[in-house]
Amino acid sequence: MDIKLVKATNSDAQAIFDIQVMAFMPLLEKYQDYHTNPANETIERVITRINNPNGGFYRIIVDNKLVGAISILWKEGVQFWISPMFILPDFQRKGIAQKAITLLEEMFPQATSWELATILEEERNCYLYEKMGYIKTDVKKKLNENTTLIFFKKIMSKVME
């Protein structure tokens, strides 16, 4: 499987938006987190992420097919936040998210830390991030009676020369 990240442009907005809705709709139906779930966002929100001067939105391409996207924000150029990341349901559980995160971390070697949040009740998401070296923080945010966001952080070790 050839997996790569390609910076998104405005012409990608509709395709990214459609995949975002497809990827997050099962979670929206399960947790009913209508105010925070990306399936309820507008295409304008996707366009805002694409054009954010303090971040980037990257298409996840597998064997020349768009299967998802990953958005990042940075603070002071060294602290990075991932949100959202999503992959079409048919392509989930194939190691694509893991590879996308690895590629992203390699693209930004100046990062001192990476952070993200995911649904605590989604154990496979939590497992993925822990496997990749992300540590649960003490920060949790209850979204509703069904859903809690849990925050993760990964401190990047720098090799001293």
The predicted model gives 133-158 an average pLDDT of 94
Q: Is the pLDDT of residue 32 over 90?
A: yes
- pTM for the predicted model, two decimal places: 0.94
What is the residue extent of each domain of the chain?
3-155
Average pLDDT over residues 62-87: 96
Half-sphere exposure of 136 (CA within 13 A, CB side): 13
- The pLDDT, as a whole number, for residue 76 is 86
User: Nearest 5°: CA angle at 98, between 40 and 54?
Assistant: 55
Euclidean distance between CA atoms 81 and 87, whole angstroms: 18
Q: Does the structural domain 3-155 have CATH classification 3.40.630.30?
A: yes
Helices (H), 51-159: 96-107, 123-131
Residue 160 has pLDDT above 60, yes or no: no
101 class by beta-carbon count within 10 Å (0-12 exposed, 13-18 middle, 19+ buried): buried
